[in-house]
Structure formats: structure tokens, C-alpha cells
Amino acid sequence: AEFIRECAQSKGLKLTLGDKSKLRKAWKQVKTGGWKGGGGGGGSVAPVGAATTTDTKKKGGDEEKPSKDILNLLTELKIEAYAQEMSKSKHWSQFGGKPSVQTLIDMTKQDRTTLLLAINMKPGHRLKLERHLSTLKATLPKYICDMKVSDVVVGKGCLGLGTKLGEKNVSMAFLGEPVTKGVGMYPKAKGGAKALFVIPKGTPSGALAGGVALNDSQKGRMLGKGVLFRIRMTTNNSIVWASNHVSAKGSKQEFFFAWSEEKLGNLVQLEVVCDGLNVNAPAMWIDPRIILGQNDAPKPVVQPEPPVVHAIMTMMMMMTTTTMR
């Protein structure tokens, strides 16, 4: 079948391995020289349901471009004819509206099957894609928001995970871009917020990466005066990363350092310390994650947690801890 497809391609034709009837027809015509390539005898052949020139144009006449992320994935599997249709936002509306390989992997198998059926992907191609996504999932970053969490302390609402800030019906965003794998924390004024996450035992070593900022998804809510945050990450009662003071929206501080279970353990505490007021100033961790196999990251600068601060946060935890998950 691969040989037939290559013969057809040499004459300017497009065939997929899943279309057996057209492959047979192509083989007969290629053998006899009866297929003139691209024109009347058969033309360019694509899978049923794949996007075509006539069904992928917007009203203004501009052809929609497929998502680069999705196109690269499907091209690798030699089923790129589905990329145009698969990239349409209508198929992703309940998943944030933006097509991506990461979102595809994070879907339940049922949701993913529904999407693939909606674009008329053939059974053999669906199976091929599912197997590839399973392989990818084992190598993709492990996001902190997807891990077991406990010892939660927040000043308002609840702990935000994924896209949710923690306030009712509020999603996280930074400079207008949605945050999809974040952790939202609204601290107490002159207090704090924190949550303890459990990295699954046996997770391969790599790098801890991400960023911190103040949420800016609510454009009408002005930041209060006197807002002053410090955001930090601790393991084994030691600070492995700390931000500079955060007092304004629109700026992000990033972290990137080596992590291994052997050296830092499998408990990671994300914490926001509020030295001032907290008016309209929910803090968020932007996509904190472990990048597996990233062995060139710098070592973290480990500092013991100040005893007084540790005691205060422990007391707060005992008073207001909410166990989640």
C-alpha cells in the first residue's frame, strides 16, 4: 500500500493508506499509465470528512489556516488531511476554544473520540492517533495542578486549579492569554495562602519550570493600593525559589531549576506571602510543571525556611486548612 501511494504521489496525486478502494484504482491506473495526475482521471484524493478548499473559507474569502500544533502532529502520522477540519474552533469550544496537542492529550478518551468522529476521522487513523498520544503522554511535562493537593490555606474563595482562579466563575489570564494549567491563590491581607502538592513517586528527574504573576482576567477590577506579595516554592521546609516583591499586574517572574525526587523529595509547597493589602490582587502560578529529562537546568538555590514564618504558616494551616481531592 505504501508503494502504491508513493507511485501515485510521483504522478502528483494524494492518497492515504486507509482508502483501500482508491488505492486499488490508483494501482491499476498507475500500472497502465492511464492516470494523468491531478486532473480528470482521479485528481487529488483525501479522506472522507477531511477539509477541502470550499469548506474551509471564511466569509471574507480568506482561507482558515490549520493550527500549527495540530498540523505538525498529524503530519508526523501522515494523516495531515484532517488538520484543517480538526483545527476549527467549534470542535474545541468546551476545551477553551484553542486547538492544541496538550489539550487533545488531556481530554478524556470519550471526549477525544467525539471530536475525532465529528471530523469524520477513519477508524484506522483514530487508532493510530490514540497510540501516538499515549506515547506522547508519557514524555510530556507533569503539571503541578494535576497532582494530589492538601494543606490548603487561602484568604478568599478556594484554591484555583487548571483554568480556574478560585473565585466563582473566574478564569485565570495573563496579558489577555488564558492560563490553562495554573494554580490560583487569593491570600489573606497581611497573611498568606499556600497548598501542598504531592509529586507521584518514581517521577523521572527533570526541571521545575513556570511563572508567577497577578491575575488580570477581570479588566474592570482595579488593583488596590498597598498590594505587596512575595511568592515562593518550598520543599522539605526549605525555600527552593522565591520571587521579588510583586505589586503590579502585567509583569511575570519565571523559575527554572533542576528537580529530582532524590534531592528535593516529592512534596512541593506553593506559597504566597502578602505583606500588604490584597484588594483585587489574586496571585497565580502560571503552568508550574516538571519537564521530564531536562538535565541541563541550574541547581536550585536552597535556603532554610525562616523559623518564624514557618511557625506562622503552620498555625494558619491548623486554623483554616481545607483538604482537597
pLDDT(228) > 60: yes
- 89-112 pLDDT tens trace: 899 988 877 898 988 988 889 999
CA 84, CA 208: separation in Å to the nearest integer? 35
Give the per-residue pLDDT at 115: 94
Which pLDDT band, with edges at 50, 70 and 90, does 34 fall under? low
Which pLDDT band, with edges at 50, 70 and 90, does 138 fall under? confident
Give the per-residue pLDDT at 136: 87
Give the per-residue pLDDT at 306: 59
Alpha helices in the chain (DSSP H): 2-10, 20-32, 68-76, 83-86, 101-106, 109-118, 123-137, 261-264, 307-320
Could you tell me the residue ranges of all domains in the chain? 1-45, 56-140, 142-320
Ramachandran assignment for 211, one of left (phi > 0), alpha (psi -120 to 50 degrees), beta (any other): beta
- Smallest Cα–Cα separation from 322: which of 154, 182, 147, 162? 154
pLDDT(225) > 70: no
For domain 56-140, give the fold: DNA polymerase; domain 1 (1.10.150)
DSSP string spanning 48-70? Answer: TT---TTTSB-TTSPBPPPPHHH
Give the per-residue pLDDT at 64: 67
Give the per-residue pLDDT at 33: 55
pLDDT(308) > 70: no
Query: Hey, which of 60-64, 94-98, 104-108, 277-281 has the most confident mean pLDDT?
Result: 104-108
Distances (CA, A) of 177 to 2, 141, 270, 276: 43, 20, 22, 27
Which pLDDT band, with edges at 50, 70 and 90, does 43 fall under? very low
- 150-185 pLDDT tens trace: 899 988 889 999 999 988 788 999 998 999 999 999
Which pLDDT band, with edges at 50, 70 and 90, does 307 fall under? low
Which pLDDT band, with edges at 50, 70 and 90, does 17 fall under? low
pLDDT(293) > 60: yes
Q: What percentage of the chain carries pLDDT values higher than 70?
A: 71
- 244-275 pLDDT tens trace: 888 788 889 999 999 999 999 999 999 998 88
pTM score of the predicted model: 0.60
CATH number for 142-320 (one of 3.40.50.1580, 2.60.120.1060, 2.40.128.20, 3.30.70.2740): it is 2.60.120.1060
Give the per-residue pLDDT at 116: 95
Which residues touch 83 (CB under 8 Å, ≥6 apart)?
51, 66, 67, 70, 71, 74, 75
Give the per-residue pLDDT at 245: 84
Cell numbers at 122, concatenated:
477513519
Give the per-residue pLDDT at 2: 64
Which pLDDT band, with edges at 50, 70 and 90, does 55 fall under? very low
- How wide is the angle at C-alpha 197 spanned by C-alphas 316 and 282, nearest 5°? 60
Which residues touch 147 (CB under 8 Å, ≥6 apart)?
197, 198, 199, 200
pLDDT(52) > 60: no
- Please compute Rg for the chain using Cα positions: 25
Tell me phi and psi for residue 311, to 5 degrees: -65, -40
Contact, 179 vs 284, CB < 8 A?
Answer: yes
Which residues touch 173 (CB under 8 Å, ≥6 apart)?
179, 215, 216, 217
pLDDT(32) > 50: yes
CA 35, CA 238: separation in Å to the nearest integer? 71
- Over residues 138-146, mean pLDDT: 89
pLDDT(78) > 90: yes
Q: Which of 124-138, 211-225, 243-257, 260-274 has the lowest mean pLDDT?
A: 211-225
